[in-house]
Structure 1
Amino acid sequence: MEKTVYIIVLNYNNYKDTIECIKSLEALNYHNYKIVIIDNKSTDDSNIILKEKYSSKYKYIENSSNLGYGAGNNVGINYALNNNADYICILNNDTIVKADFLIKLVNYMEYNLKCGIVGPVLLEHSNPKKVQSSGAVINLLQGDMSCINYNKDIGELEEEIIKCDYVGGACIVIRRKVIEEIGLIPEEYFLFYEETEWCYKAKKFGYDIICFTPAQIFHKGSVTINTINELSEYLLNRNKILFEKRNASFIILILFYIYLIMETLFNIITKKQGGKIIKYYFHGLFNLIDDKYPFIYIPSKKKSKK
């Protein structure tokens, strides 16, 4: 008997991609799955269009504000946990899935009980043979998060099972038991690094994090974030510092700060980056949010002083 899988699809101002994503899900050859669509307080017509199209077929939830990736998806996770989910799949709305991706991931989990989180290979939607990621590794000393097999041809991948530190947030399948042990997706980031910490925490609890390469989906990339000027740059740099603070040991954290100061000074002197990067790091260090982004929801966030 197939385990019950809840697939959480979060939408923000991008109903066209969401519709295309759900269309691909409807062709799955896995049968015991339920779709939960969450609109993160879109400002376009998403809430009207998606509600009209899907509320009679799937669970549809409208958040009262844009909660970001973590908190937005957690609304769906809580719903799934309260409705007897065995597995939960967090799926970006800018993905197109292969019909067999879910059955391959769930079957792997069923036969490998030490695996707590599994993900597919992410392929470029615009170039279906090019690998975006087959998992990633974390270097806390340098604050580096490196995608495995990035930009390779899918035919070059020889391993079926890739142990890694985290799988990309575009598609994560996680056991119910793991969520009950480690908690929901961290909400302190709004966007970027939350899935990194979630996987990293599961690994600290003794679970394997796996990219199962026979399972593959197509990812269009960060469509929504690219429409917002400088937001991705701001959050990526701010959240890198926050992630290090929350996850590195004291000694590693001190060494990371030394490395970061040297790297930043070199990049500013050689004009590889501007001085504004210092503000991004400062906000991560003290959990601040720039006043120019008032819509960012983060629990217990502080506003920056002008």
Structure 2
Amino acid sequence: MKKVSVITVNFNQALVTEALLESIFKTNTYPNIEIIVVHNGAKTNDLPQWQAKYPDIVFIRSEANLGFAGGNNLGIKAATGDYLFLVNNDTEFTAGLTETLVNTLDNNETIGIISPKIKYFQFPDTLQYVGFTPMNYYTCRNQCIGQFEKDNGQYDNLSQPTGFCHGAAMMLRRKAIEKAGLMTENFFLYYEEMDWNEHIKRAGYQAWVNTNALIYHKESVSVGQGSPLKEYFMNRNRILFIRRNAPWNQAIVFYVYFMLLVVPRNTISYIKQKKYNFIGMLFKAVWWNITQGKKSTKLGYPI
């Protein structure tokens, strides 16, 4: 039986993380798992209380906030599992989740990464994810299949390749990580999992989704529904993703599209919404990509 390492990253959300842990204990019946919680630069150190309350969990504390990629990479380095299940701390497990994903990986060696069906925790009858379409590199846009649809069983029993797995919940084969490498940490927040998907596929593996496995997601607990932080990194990393992954001819079209259409459109939208500080975030995101190399570790934003 393959060992599964469940990895999650906590950042100033002790109660949210504890809810995830309790959901694992309540629903999990897969016997060969380890749970790793990365305490990622949080202001308060919850580890002493957690270690007493959850003695069988591996806790790792980083004094600095390493972001989504850096925090998960810490957990990956400490993990001993054959499969690594990276889950957002704002998710909650359901019965059979781990077994279903493990069985799918066991039965198909070409799968390097797989996600379950994801539904909104606050709206448990509403889908968030049952797969992604491939990326359009001319616009750096793709579609999240099923998002906001009522779950009437229309996507039940799907186990198939997908454009991308979802960063909120993705199980990976250790061998795929060894070939593709860890997540790129200079994304810090957003697009890093899509970049990782691309590198895993280039390493010869497939990305899959299995809708017979289900997890619930409390979307945008960590940064809020429209914060300057989110606006900056979404724009900065959208450009960075293209710089790292798109063929040069498609990248050129994207740059023209972004500067002549996206920047003016977003600026007008920010003005209409009176989110004037977002304008600066947008131009700061563009400027970072003009002045920094693809491997730059400078975030361009105070963390």
Q: Quick check: TM above 0.5?
A: yes
For 1:291, the equivalent position in structure 2 comes to none
Partner amino acid, structure 1, of 2:145: I
Label 1:111 to 1:262 Cα distance change in 2 as closer, same or farther (>3 A). Answer: same
* Contact 2:130 2:155 (8 Å CA) reproduced: no
Answer with 152-161 or 196-205: which moved more.
152-161
Would you say 1:282 and 2:279 are equivalent positions?
Answer: no
Q: Distance in 2 between matches of 1:128 and 1:22?
A: 19
For 2:245, the equivalent position in structure 1 comes to 247
* Contact 2:188 2:299 (8 Å CA) reproduced: no
For 1:149, the equivalent position in structure 2 comes to 146
Q: 1:102-150: CA deviations, max 9, x gaps?
A: 1000001111111110010110001112111122232111011321111
Equivalent runs, 1:42-81 vs 2, <5 Å: 42-44=42-44, 46-54=46-54, 56-80=55-79
* Contact 1:241 1:285 (8 Å CA) reproduced: no
Determine which of 211, 231, 235 is the counterpart of 1:237: 235
Q: Distance in 2 between matches of 1:142 and 1:245?
A: 12
Q: 1:64-83: CA deviations, max 9, x gaps?
A: 21111111111110111xx3
In the alignment of these two chains, the number of paired residues is 289
Q: Distance in 1 between matches of 2:217 and 2:289?
A: 28
Would you say 1:14 and 2:21 are equivalent positions?
Answer: no
Structure 2: tracts of 5 or more residues without a match: 272-278
For 1:130, the equivalent position in structure 2 comes to 126
Answer with 40-49 or 206-215: which moved more.
40-49
Q: 1:14-72: CA deviations, max 9, x gaps?
A: 01111110111113021100001110021135344333322x22111111211111111
For 1:292, the equivalent position in structure 2 comes to none
Q: CA deviation at 1:273?
A: 3.8
Q: CA deviation at 1:283?
A: 1.6
Structure 1: tracts of 5 or more residues without a match: 289-297
* Contact 1:131 1:153 (8 Å CA) reproduced: yes
- State the identity %: 30
SS in 2 for 1:173: strand
Label 1:87 to 1:299 Cα distance change in 2 as closer, same or farther (>3 A). Answer: farther
Q: 1:221-265: CA deviations, max 9, x gaps?
A: 121111894101111111101111011111010011111122135
Equivalent runs, 1:196-211 vs 2, <5 Å: 196-211=194-209
Q: TM-score, normalised by structure 1?
A: 0.88
Q: Which 4+ stretches in 1 moved above 4 angstroms? A: none
Partner amino acid, structure 2, of 1:281: V
Q: 1:158-216: CA deviations, max 9, x gaps?
A: 56124222111111100010011001111111110111111111112221101111111
Partner amino acid, structure 1, of 2:73: N
Would you say 1:37 and 2:11 are equivalent positions?
Answer: no
Q: Distance in 2 between matches of 1:228 and 1:16?
A: 22
Label 1:101 to 1:265 Cα distance change in 2 as closer, same or farther (>3 A). Answer: closer
* Contact 2:288 2:300 (8 Å CA) reproduced: no
Q: Distance in 2 between matches of 1:195 and 1:188?
A: 12
Partner amino acid, structure 1, of 2:6: I
Q: Distance in 2 between matches of 1:75 and 1:264?
A: 35
Label 1:227 to 1:43 Cα distance change in 2 as closer, same or farther (>3 A). Answer: farther
Q: Distance in 2 between matches of 1:147 and 1:262?
A: 25
Aligned-CA RMSD value: 2.1
For 2:4, the equivalent position in structure 1 comes to 5
Label 1:265 to 1:224 Cα distance change in 2 as closer, same or farther (>3 A). Answer: closer
For 1:193, the equivalent position in structure 2 comes to 191
* Contact 1:245 1:285 (8 Å CA) reproduced: no
* Contact 1:187 1:299 (8 Å CA) reproduced: no
